[in-house]
């Protein structure tokens, strides 16, 4: 396979990559060919040393997704990275997907729990301002105590939500690190 065939196959497999990113990736691989030619190597030899253009394009797309997920943290970016990683190996499909989505559900439930505790505390504070509202199980309940109890519960809920935020942030970082590890393993790098 010569440079023209290699680059044609490589570029064909970069579907879904923006024009600017595609241009940058292609320039990197064309540079491999120009450096190899300067060293006296033949195009077919350089193409063979680079590897399969289809898998190289997949890896390049994966690295681009990881870079974007690191730069712009969002649920959409991390999900694109995770689904691209799943496609990279059978191990990820069988074992990691269930664990990832289980942990994602835990993180989401932590946020939901923090929100629910905060809202219940705020509701308790609001009911304290309506002394005519009697709770059927505590008819002589002190409304001042109810107000301060509501403040305490709402504060606890906010602290819980802040903790959930840091757990989610850590989960995001660990996911990115796992994907980078996957890329290194597939490439065979030991960095």
The predicted-structure confidence for 89-147, as pLDDT tens digits, reads as follows 666 667 777 888 899 999 999 999 999 999 999 998 888 877 665 555 555 567 788 88
pLDDT of the residue at 138? 55
Give the DSSP per-residue string, 63-75: HHHHHHHHHS--H
Q: ∠ at Cα 162 (156, 165), nearest 5°?
A: 145
pTM of the full structure = 0.61
Domain assignments of the chain as residue spans, ordered by start? 1-51, 73-187
pLDDT of the residue at 79? 80
CA distance to 1, 45, 109, 159, per residue, from 48 (Å): 8, 5, 49, 56
Task: Please give the share of the chain, as a percent, with pLDDT higher than 70.
Answer: 86
Banded pLDDT at 191 (limits 50, 70, 90): very low
Encode 38-55 in three state secondary structure.
HCCCCHHHHHHHHCCHHH
pLDDT of the residue at 140? 55
The predicted-structure confidence for 37-50, as pLDDT tens digits, reads as follows 888 888 888 888 88
pLDDT of the residue at 155? 96
């Amino acid at each position: 396979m010569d440079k023209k065939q290699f680059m044609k196959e490589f570029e064909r497999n970069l579907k879904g990559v923006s024009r600017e990113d595609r241009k940058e990736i292609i320039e990197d691989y064309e540079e491999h060919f120009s450096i190899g030619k300067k060293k006296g190597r033949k195009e077919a030899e350089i193409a063979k040393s680079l590897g399969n253009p289809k898998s190289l394009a997949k890896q390049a797309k994966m690295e681009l997704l990881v870079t974007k997920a690191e730069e712009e943290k969002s649920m959409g970016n991390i999900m694109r990275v995770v689904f691209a990683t799943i496609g990279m190996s059978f191990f990820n499909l069988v074992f990691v997907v269930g664990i990832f989505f289980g942990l994602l559900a835990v993180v989401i439930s932590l946020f939901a729990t923090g929100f629910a505790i905060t809202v219940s505390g705020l509701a308790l504070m609001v009911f304290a301002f309506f002394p005519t509202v009697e709770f059927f199980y505590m008819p002589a309940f002190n409304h001042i105590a109810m107000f301060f109890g509501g403040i305490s519960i709402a504060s606890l809920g906010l602290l819980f939500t802040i903790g959930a935020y840091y757990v989610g942030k850590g989960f995001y970082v660990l996911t990115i690190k796992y994907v980078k590890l996957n890329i290194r393993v597939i490439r065979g790098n030991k960095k």
